[in-house]
Amino acid sequence: MPGITSHSVIPAWLSLWMSLCMLCVPVTQAAAHDAAATSADVSVQAAKSTQATLSSQRLTDAEQQLAQAKQAEDPVATAEALDTITQLYSQSGNYEIALTYATQAAQIWGELQNRPRQATALLEAGTAYWRVGNYDKALEYCLSALKIAEALNNPTSIADALHNMGIVNDLLEHYQVALDYHHRALEIRQRLKEPKGIADSLSNIGVIHYFQHDYPQALDYALKSLQVRETANDAPGIGKSLNNVGLTYQAMNQYDKAFSYYRQSLEIWEKINYTYEVANVFNNIGELYTQTAQYPEAAKYLSEALQKARQIDAKALVRENYEFFSNFYFKQNDYLGALEYYKLAAEIKDSLYNEKSQKLIVDMQTKYETDKKEQQITLLKKDNQIQQLAINSQLLQRNSLLGGLVLVFITAFLIYNRYRFARRVNRQLEDANELIHKEKEKSDRLLLNILPVRVANDLKEKGKTEPESFENVTVYFSDVVGFTKLSSQLEPKYLIDELNSIFTAFDNIIEKHQCERVKTIGDAYLCVCGMPTPNPQHAPNMVRAAVEIINYMKARNRDAPVIWEIRIGIHTGPVVGGVVGIKKYIYDVFGDTINTASRMESNSEPMRINISASTYQFVKDEFDITPRGTLHVKGKGDMPMYFVNT
């Protein structure tokens, strides 16, 4: 599958030529993504029994069972036979055929109201869809499986669905969204103590760190995943981790180590006869031979990889093979050959990453998160109704008691006792009302700590809040330079205290400049200005906040025992915002503007503020700005960037 990306050095004239032809496609290398809870991830004993071409006897038996079940009009036996055939084709890498059977199985299990089996079949189909490059369908099926798993309160199935949704977003280069899904899956799996699931999540988190050019962090996660899989004796998982470690070493220019890990991975996949992963590793070895100018060996491995990828119709592997061949010819100064393979790769990429498909995927995810939020709000309303009925019942009982006492008042003594009783009840009611008022104030403060004021008010007054699109928003993204190294040197409590101190100061600064913090992910800090309340000064306010943050960090570092440096990236554009989450309120933001702000940050320098051209147009007359020229940004092409001087 498409994964870790490395860019070739292309002469300016060829780059311009290919740009004019609208064929600028990045050269990628394949990381071993780990699909959750599917038959493709089998133990080595099961995998050994699966050949590159399915065992004719096993397939014949399964098809006979299917025919007999249909003839007997037995829907349960029919669905079970469909599941078996799906697993056989998936294990051999024939995902296009597996799709047909998986979708039929999911439909029948749904008609039988067997929700657990339906969720498994849906997830099987979703995995097959992303294997063949149909990412919007993959997300649709994984989302359906996730909804069923949540309704059944099955944490293992929930984690598996979140994991595969993370992979789809990873493949679409929605890295922050992918990281969120993978970390949520990892948290569940660690709580359940599932070694295989933990290893899969660690592996894919490492792949995303690679995409973000944080190679030490990527290597750390890949090696952790490999260690867990070796302990569990998970041969297919070991093969994937070995491949990912090799990719990381290749990016770090440690070619001997890269070759060693690739060959270990290839040995496992050839022993299992898993065509898809053999083609995947052949691709990577071929690209490494190209990188080290060993062209005959490169041609041999790339040709073999292309043959195997075409054999199983793995479009993503074919696309990256074309990209590798383009690089292969380019390195040997055969520019016509390079351009021809760029064209072939571009044709496949356009079919996988078209704009309509991207919008459909974002809409599906937003609708899912919004629907979950509305379900939670409905449950809260029902709880409030039950509580109100209980209070009404108590009031009725109290009033009835008081009315009964009036009927039996005979003497002044009884009247006096009634008077004392009423006073005591009133005092208790006053105390109860005061307690309720205090608890309401406390809950309101907690709500405002996690949601913007406008969104919190909508939830309190209307019981729901709708996602909104904002055209003019400035997005700030920063992270700590060398955080992985620092975190390994500091005590955990001291590390958390330091981050808390820094982020608290950031919160105060952005609030002062009418900005809104969205969230933190580890050492990363994301905030916006211009939403959910529009602000015409969104860009100047955000840049002022960034300048003040840099000045705060400089002042802090003068006296602090540990020196912390950050990189800041800022971009302006349209953003979608809304409340998401299942059990906790979270206000989150979506859109290409978020990804571009992240790219601005990754292309910044320590203790510098890097802004895009769109932000520059808003602030160029208010700040001292130094143009940086045009820099290449993955997935975006060449983009002008500017440093704001502090």
Residue 61 inside a domain? The answer is no
Q: Are residues 451 and 508 in the same domain?
A: no
pLDDT higher than 50, residue 41: no
Label each residue of 528-569 as H, E or C.
Answer: EECCCCCCCCHHHHHHHHHHHHHHHHHHHHHHCCCCCCEEEE
Asked if 561 and 445 sit in the same domain, the reply is no
Q: What pLDDT sits at residue 22?
A: 29
Tell me the sheet residues that pair with 476: 527, 570
Structure confidence at residue 475 as a pLDDT band (50, 70, 90): very high
* In-domain check, residue 216: no
Q: What is the pLDDT of residue 24?
A: 32
Q: Are residues 482 and 601 in the same domain?
A: yes
**Based on the domain organization, do 448 and 477 belong to the same domain?**
no
Q: Which of 428, 456, 484 is the last residue in one of the domains?
A: 456
Looking at residue 50, what is its pLDDT?
A: 39
- Please tell me whether residues 398 and 487 are part of one structural domain: no
> Is 592 found in the same domain as 532?
yes
43 has a pLDDT exceeding 50: no
The answer to the question of residue 390 being in a domain is yes
Average pLDDT in the 185-190 region? Answer: 91
pLDDT digits (tens, 9 = 90+) for 524-569: 999 999 998 899 999 999 999 999 999 999 999 998 889 999 999 9
495 and 582 part of one domain: yes
Instruction: Quote the pLDDT of residue 174.
Output: 84
Of 456, 483, 516, the last residue of a domain is: 456
Residue 470, strand partner residues: 575
**CB burial of residue 96 (10 Å; 0-12, 13-18, 19+):** middle
Q: What is the mean pLDDT of residues 302-323?
A: 89
When pLDDT is averaged across residues 261-271 and rounded to a whole number, the result is 92
Q: What is the C-alpha to C-alpha distance for residues 300 and 159, in angstroms, rounded to an integer?
A: 40
For residue 417, give its domain range. Answer: 367-456
Q: Are residues 476 and 441 in the same domain?
A: no
Instruction: Identify whether residues 624 and 484 lie together within a single domain.
Output: yes
Cα angle, residue 84 at apex, residues 142 and 66 outer, rounded to 5°: 120
Domain at 614, CATH number? 3.30.70.1230
Is residue 295 pLDDT above 90, yes or no? yes
**For residue 42, pLDDT beyond 70:** no
Q: Would residue 144 count as lying in a domain?
A: no
Cis ω for the linkage preceding 532 (within 30 of 0): yes
Q: Does 629 lie in the same domain as 491?
A: yes
DSSP 3-state of 391:
helix
Q: Taking all residues of the chain, what is their mean pLDDT, rounded to a whole number?
A: 80
Asked whether residue 394 is assigned to any structural domain, the reply reads yes
* Nearest Cα residue to 507 out of 427, 449, 578, 465: 449
H/E run at residue 475:
strand 468-480
Q: What's the number of domains the chain is made of?
A: 2
- On whether residue 293 sits in a domain, the answer given is no
Alpha helices in 212-294 (DSSP H): 215-232, 235-251, 255-272, 275-291
Confidence band of 19 (pLDDT split at 50, 70, 90)? very low
Q: How far apart are CA 15 and CA 12, in angstroms?
A: 5
Mean pLDDT of 134-160: 88
User: Average of pLDDT values for 588-609?
Assistant: 93
Domain boundary among 404, 421, 456: 456
User: Are 619 and 550 within one domain?
Assistant: yes
Residues 627 and 512 in one domain: yes
The alpha carbon of 37 is separated from its chain's Cα centroid by a whole number of angstroms, namely: 18
Q: Is residue 478 part of a domain?
A: yes
Helix (H, G, I), strand (E, B) or coil at 629: strand
The answer as to whether 75 is a domain residue is: no
Answer yes or no: are the C-beta atoms of 62 and 70 closer than 8 Å: no
